[in-house]
Amino acid sequence: MNQSHQNEERITFYGGLTTIGGVHILYSCGDTGIVFDLGMARGFFKGEVSVQSDFGIRSFLLTRMAPPVMGLYDPALLGDVGEAELAQVWGKDHFPQVNNLHGFVSHIHQDHMALLPSLRAGLPVWMHRDAYAVYEAVVAAGEYEGTQADIRLIEDGQIVNFGTFRIEFIEVDHDSPGVTGFIIHGPQHRIAFTADWRRHGRNSYRMDRFIERCQSAGVDLLITEGTRMRPDTLFRKPKDRLEVEVAVECRRAMEDTEGLVYVNILARNVERIADLIIRTQEAGRQLVMDESTAILWGEASKKLRVLAGHQALDADQDVIRLLKTPQWSKGPQRTMEVEFPYEPITLNEITANKSQFAVFLTYPHTPLIAELETFGSCASASIYVHADGNPLTSSDETLLKWLTEFGVQYRYCATGGHAAPQEIAELTTRISPKLVIPLHSMHPTLFNSGGISKYCPAPGESYELSELVGKQFTR
């Protein structure tokens, strides 16, 4: 291999370009490359139309929901699906491939990590140690299968040398622990990837630090998420609820009624669950969890460095009560036997004294409302606090029908994990790259880059970095 080929930097865009999530980008320098991220957008699969995340890799590849980088996957799962079939699906003659291949997972939301069970044994995959702690808990809770990949744990600020390039990993702020972006330091160019990020979280300072590192490195190409770029957000910056206020709103609901309070939070937001436990205790109630949620909380909270010193770790064990997962549930089915440290509770015990409990109610368990509302006192209305748990909308027809049927008050208490468009523009202008690429968005072309040259690639486009950052694009 000659020296010029060894130093050739190439970037290929596959997914997440006009969708929320499913970012798939291959950066390569010579014969070494890294794919980021390893998740999926919803695309062709939703609800009843689904496949297992391991053996479904054939369907994912043939619907362009997984990147056509053959070295990523377990050959036993691929079967006879090969590059020829994928070239037909993508309308390409060939795909860039590298022998020394790595993967990267920025955080443990399904649109960034769902391909983990499909990866080949021994594939090096880099992720923050707190993100991996959440993944182990998700697997233990039965939400996902494990992975055969060789997980390489990283710390905030760590620099890893890949030979022809190095990556500086930088923790950012999102609504999941261990979310990490990076700066790739190549032979000629610097690429920054923000991962998912926000300004209204508990660690906004991390974004200032990310900007400072990018300024210091002299970033040529900035790749940023743009989830909230929509026509209605172009001219007015929304006022976001602060992350620290969400659990306080949950406590307020517990103080506003003598009835039950239902709380729906994505369990992978472990820091928010920790806050909820404390606020539930302050309100004089106990928090009822199903088995899967209790496993996820218990397994993650034991390992997460970000929770070190949190009051929830020292809370009395009787703050949490354990409700056996209903047999009819289509929610996660736990795959490990666990000796729970929490006292069990029955539906009858809950309905006998509703003012004493808050029920962590995931979307698949919504039908429990029928029993919890029919039995026991109905003197005080129950309150349902919807705080970024599935479904990720305040207008879900099924959920609202259940609440209306049983007279349960609905409080939408979302804050989300994504930056406002104006904040993305501010980050971009402060970093001042030669080129910015907005993705992880339904409307990336709406991005106001503040005069910075921007580009919205099409799926399958591949460029040498010198060619890409040297082009003249819209501003």
Q: 69-79 burial, b for 16+ CB within 10 Å, e for fewer?
A: bbbbbbeebbe
* pLDDT score of 331: 62
* pLDDT score of 330: 60
Measure the N-to-C terminal CA separation of the chain; round to a whole number of Å: 38
* pLDDT score of 328: 66
Q: In Å, how far are 10, 257, 264, 286, 308 from 245, measured between CA atoms?
A: 43, 19, 15, 20, 20
* Domain map (residue ranges) of the chain: 3-233+418-470, 243-412
Superfamily of domain 243-412: Metallo-hydrolase/oxidoreductase (3.40.50.10710)
Task: Tell me the C-alpha distance between 277 and 313, whole Å.
Answer: 9
- Assess whether the region 3-233+418-470 and the region 243-412 belong to the same CATH fold: no
Q: Give the tokens for residue 112.
A: 């960034």
* pLDDT score of 1: 47
The domain at 3-233+418-470 falls in which architecture?
4-Layer Sandwich (3.60)
On the CB side of 67, CA atoms within 13 Å amount to: 35
Residue with tokens 């909380």: 297
* Sign of the four-CA dihedral 259, 265, 268, 272: negative
Task: Enumerate the β-bridge partners of residue 153.
Answer: 127
DSSP states of 222-263: EEEE-TT--GGGSSS---PPPHHHHHHHHHHHHHH-SS-EEE
* pLDDT score of 318: 85
Of the candidates 364, 404, 397, 375, which has an alpha carbon nearest to the alpha carbon of residue 384? 404
Task: Tell me the C-alpha distance between 368 and 370, whole Å.
Answer: 5
pLDDT tens per residue across all 475 residues of the chain: 455 567 899 999 999 999 999 999 999 999 999 999 999 987 787 777 777 766 789 999 999 999 999 999 999 999 999 999 999 999 998 899 899 999 999 999 999 999 999 999 999 999 999 999 999 999 999 889 999 999 999 999 999 999 999 999 999 999 999 999 999 999 999 999 999 999 999 999 999 999 999 999 999 999 999 999 998 877 777 789 999 999 999 999 999 999 999 999 999 999 999 999 999 999 999 999 999 999 999 999 999 999 999 999 988 778 999 998 776 666 666 555 677 889 999 999 999 999 999 999 999 999 999 999 999 999 999 999 999 999 988 999 999 999 999 999 999 999 989 999 999 999 999 999 999 999 999 999 999 999 999 999 999 999 999 999 987 776 6
Residue 388 carries which DSSP code? B
* pLDDT score of 137: 95
